[in-house]
Amino acid sequence: MEKLISSPVERKKIHPHKFAMWVGMGSIAMMFAGFTSAYIVREAQGNWVYYKLPAIFWVSTVAILLSSITLTLGIRAFKQRSMPRYRALVTITLLLGVLFTIFQIIGFKQLYSNHIRVNGNPSESFLYIITGLHLLHIVGGIIALLIVFFRAFRTRVKIYNATGLEVVATYWHFVDALWIYLFVFFLANQ
């Protein structure tokens, strides 16, 4: 019987948690692609109201972009074992995520005060449903960031394995990119 010799170049396997995250993100992306496609189809049928997004949505966009940068720098600090820097960057990321949410809520309140309501024209309903679902996914990301935050500050034995942090970061970058897509989509359809 011949003994098999493994090649020096072995395929690197993706961690199961990372794979599950990618499958989940694919599903979420398909859902939002379906909603934005439905928006376009419904808009073509007429009876559509156009409106301007409040300026606060620009501010929220800057906040979420900055949060992705701070999280990327935080992962780098974690891998370099620079824990004080890592803790500071995770804290900033969490605060920026919360700020994004607050700015979004302020934006929704401004839309509502301008008589753009979920029970109004279909264009208004689409805006609230799509952005509301995105905000729900942001809340999930903030919960994940809270877990990362509390783990960063615990004093017990540290295991320097970045897999969990990378999974959270992948999701956070995804909801960031998703917001950019939605924001540009709504700006283009004003």
Please, what are the domains in the chain?
51-188 (1.20.120.80)
CA distances from 116 to 112, 120, 131, 158, 188 (A): 5, 7, 14, 50, 18
Residues 6+ apart with CB under 8 A from 142: 94, 97, 98, 101
Residue 190's pLDDT band, with cuts at 50, 70 and 90, is confident
- Rounded mean pLDDT of the chain? 90
Give the pair of three-digit tokens for residue 36: 């934005």
Q: How far apart are the first and last CA of the chain?
A: 71
pLDDT tens, position by position, 71-110:
999 999 999 989 999 999 999 999 999 999 999 999 999 9
Helices (H), 45-162: 56-79, 83-113, 122-153
Q: Evaluate if residue 16 carries a pLDDT over 90.
A: no
Q: Evaluate if residue 51 carries a pLDDT over 70.
A: yes
pLDDT tens, position by position, 114-146:
888 877 788 889 999 999 999 999 999 999 999
